[in-house]
């Protein structure tokens, strides 16, 4: 995890950016094939969003710090939801196998009290040779109960996202006047839908816009193109045009398009970036946008 002597910034690193299923191979080398994982490093705070296969590489980097320090920083893992692509890397997170590790896992309180059992069941002996209870690390699993979580200088806010099968949670990290939003796995096309302009959708739209307005960085689900989306209605992911239009109207400064479709090659994503960058460069207000790629670190 990237660190720095500069205590006035957050460092955001992408460890896994692919949605649905990991896609290793020659045509995904640039943007990566690991499933979702993003870290935020700020002073001595270590925050992780989601535990897809990308968390394995993060864990290997963190392990050195954990072994070297008598009192290494605590780790805080926030899950958007518990679909496979967002938790499947947890059994391979090497800090969990070290006794010096202190890890708190946070998730939705609307899982009916089953968050802990869901995470443990994927490590049942039928699926994996090591049980979660065998981890030497000090691991706590918390269903979020408070509206705001304070971790040192970081303030983390959250909201439920109902337009995704099984639900999902978006998070906002606030530090030193800067805001980073992690809002993957939500079908914005259902919310911002002129044909279904219900009071419920208007309320959900206001909540989403209020949450992302003026964000310095929005990491957001843009899995489908406009042409692909009609065949994917109800799958819980957004089309790129709806995401970018909503972000622009919300005065977002920078958008990282995330949760790339398994079928999208590096060449295809490059073409999407060139096309959409040109659109938003010609607007009256500048909004930077890019497709998130593994290994990229941003200072906010």
Residue 279 lies in a domain: yes
Q: In terms of residue numbers, what domain contains 132? A: 11-299
Q: Give the rounded percent of residues in the chain with a pLDDT score beyond 70.
A: 98
Task: Summarize pLDDT for 35-61 with one digit per residue, the tens.
Answer: 999 999 999 999 999 999 999 999 999
Average pLDDT over residues 274-279: 94
Residue 194 lies in a domain: yes
Distance (Å, whole) CA 61 – CA 95? 9
Residue whose tokens read 């049942």: 124
Distance (Å, whole) CA 249 – CA 247? 5
pTM for this one? 0.96
* 3-class DSSP string for 179-230: EEEEECCCCHHHHCCHHHCCHHHHHHHHHHHHHHCCCCEEEEECCECCCCHH
Residue 3 lies in a domain: no
Q: Does 111 have pLDDT greater than 80?
A: no
- CA-CA-CA-CA torsion sign (89, 90, 91, 94): positive
Other beta carbons within 10 Å of 141? 18
Residue whose tokens read 């001595």: 44
Residue 187 lies in a domain: yes
**CA distances for 221 relative to 194, 255, 269, angstroms:** 20, 10, 14
Residue 5 lies in a domain: no
- Kindly provide the b/e burial profile for residues 44-59, where b requires at least 16 CB atoms within 10 angstroms of the residue's own CB: ebbbbbbbbbbbbbbb
CATH number at residue 126: 3.60.15.10
Average pLDDT over residues 96-116: 90
- Computed over every residue of the chain, the mean pLDDT equals 95
Residue 270 lies in a domain: yes
Residue 155 lies in a domain: yes
Dihedrals phi, psi of 251, to nearest 5 degrees = 60, 35
Task: Summarize pLDDT for 160-211 with one digit per residue, the tens.
Answer: 999 999 999 999 999 999 999 999 999 999 999 877 789 999 999 999 999 9
| E strand or H helix at 284 | none
Confidence (pLDDT) at 5: 52
Q: Which two tokens stand for residue 166?
A: 């099984």
pLDDT bracket for residue 4 (50, 70, 90): very low
Task: Summarize pLDDT for 224-259 with one digit per residue, the tens.
Answer: 999 999 999 999 999 999 999 999 999 999 999 999
Specify the number of domains making up the chain. Answer: 1
Other beta carbons within 10 Å of 271? 12
Residue whose tokens read 């989403």: 208
């Amino acid at each position: 995890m990237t660190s720095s002597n500069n205590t006035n910034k957050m460092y955001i690193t992408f460890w896994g950016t692919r949605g649905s299923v990991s896609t290793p191979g020659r045509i995904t080398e640039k943007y990566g094939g690991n499933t979702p994982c993003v870290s935020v490093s700020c002073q001595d705070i270590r925050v992780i969003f989601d535990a897809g296969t990308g968390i394995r590489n993060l864990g290997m980097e963190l392990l050195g710090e954990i072994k070297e320090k008598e009192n290494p920083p605590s780790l805080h893992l926030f899950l958007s939801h518990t679909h496979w692509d967002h938790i499947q890397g947890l059994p391979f997170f090497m800090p969990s196998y070290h006794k010096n590790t202190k890890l708190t896992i946070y998730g939705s309180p609307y899982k009916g009290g089953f968050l802990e059992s869901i995470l443990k069941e994927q490590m049942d002996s039928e699926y994996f040779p090591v049980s979660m209870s065998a981890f030497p690390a000090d691991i706590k699993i918390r269903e979020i109960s408070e509206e705001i979580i304070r971790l040192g200088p970081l303030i983390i806010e959250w909201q439920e996202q109902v337009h995704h099968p099984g639900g999902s949670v978006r998070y906002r990290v606030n530090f030193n006047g800067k805001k980073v939003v992690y809002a993957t796995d939500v079908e914005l096309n259902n919310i911002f839908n002129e044909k279904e302009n219900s009071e419920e959708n208007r309320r959900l739209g206001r909540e989403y816009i209020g949450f992302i307005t003026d964000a310095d960085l929005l990491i957001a689900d843009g899995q489908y193109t406009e042409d692909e989306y009609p065949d994917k209605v109800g799958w819980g992911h957004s089309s790129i045009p709806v995401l970018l239009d909503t972000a622009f109207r919300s005065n977002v400064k920078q958008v990282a398009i995330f949760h790339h479709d398994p079928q999208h090659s590096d060449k295809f994503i490059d073409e999407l970036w060139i096309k959409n960058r040109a659109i938003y460069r010609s607007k009256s207000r500048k909004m930077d946008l890019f497709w998130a790629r593994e290994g990229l670190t941003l200072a906010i």
